Amino acid sequence: MTKHYQNNLLVMKIKKLPNIDRRAYKGLFKPLNPQKYKGNVNNIVYRSSWEKRFMNYCDRTKEVIEWGSEELSIYYRGVDDRPHRYFPDFYMKVIQPNKTYKKFLVEIKPKYQTKKPQPGKIKSTYYKRALLTYETNRRKWATAFAWCKKHNMSFKILTEDHLKTF
């Protein structure tokens, strides 16, 4: 912590501490409008600050009629060629300006996970892991897009760039 005076006022600059233990930001969300939530209202878990921000948006936006977090599963074929279950981050039902309803599945991901990683000069362990994550996500999302189309819904992937505006 550094101290200095500016215009006869003591100004203290506090150094931001790094996240030493690297644990994800997570917790339980308590909605202001529990009647809008579809699922167990006492077990709404967010796994990032971006998910928490989106939960607040769903809970407080009057056009969002109902929403849920990881309440639905979709089967997809993984990179190991075996069936797996994918739980999209959010389901939401929104009233449109023309008074019709539209349903969405929403996935929240860091932007870097939505793009294919580029190899460095050496194919490092980090690159291989990032490529596996990307391919797993790509398979989940392709299946979710098809599932939504079949069920007259839309699938959206939101990154921190989208969520900064909420």
pLDDT above 90 covers a percentage of the chain that reads 72
Nearest residue to 60 (alpha-carbon basis) of 15, 29, 97: 29
For residues 102 and 159, give the distance between their C-alpha atoms in angstroms, rounded to a whole number.
21
Which of 60-64, 123-127, 140-144, 160-164 shows the lowest per-residue confidence on average (mean pLDDT)? Answer: 123-127
* Residue position matching structure tokens 């006022």: 9
Q: Which residues pair with 3 in a beta bridge?
A: 12
Token output for 142:
């392709």
Hey, where are the domains in the chain?
Answer: 26-163
Token output for 83:
């069936």
pTM (2 decimals)?
Answer: 0.80
Main-chain dihedrals φ then ψ at residue 143, nearest 5 degrees: -65, -40
The identity of residue 35, as a single letter, is: Q
Q: Which CATH architecture describes the domain 26-163?
A: 3-Layer(aba) Sandwich (3.40)
Q: Where are the beta strands (DSSP E) in 18-137?
A: 27-28, 45-46, 64-69, 74-77, 83-86, 90-95, 101-108
The string of pLDDT tens digits covering residues 25-79 is 789 999 999 999 999 999 999 999 999 999 999 999 999 999 999 999 999 999 9
Q: Which pLDDT belongs to residue 46?
A: 96
Residue 1 pLDDT class (50, 70, 90 cuts)? very low
Give the C-alpha distances (Å, rounded to integers) separating 86 from 4, 9, 78, 149. 53, 55, 10, 16
* Residue position matching structure tokens 């969405």: 104
Main-chain dihedrals φ then ψ at residue 163, nearest 5 degrees: -75, -15
Question: How many degrees, rounded to 5, is the angle at CA 163 between CA 160 and CA 166?
Answer: 160
For residues 154 and 117, give the distance between their C-alpha atoms in angstroms, rounded to a whole number.
26
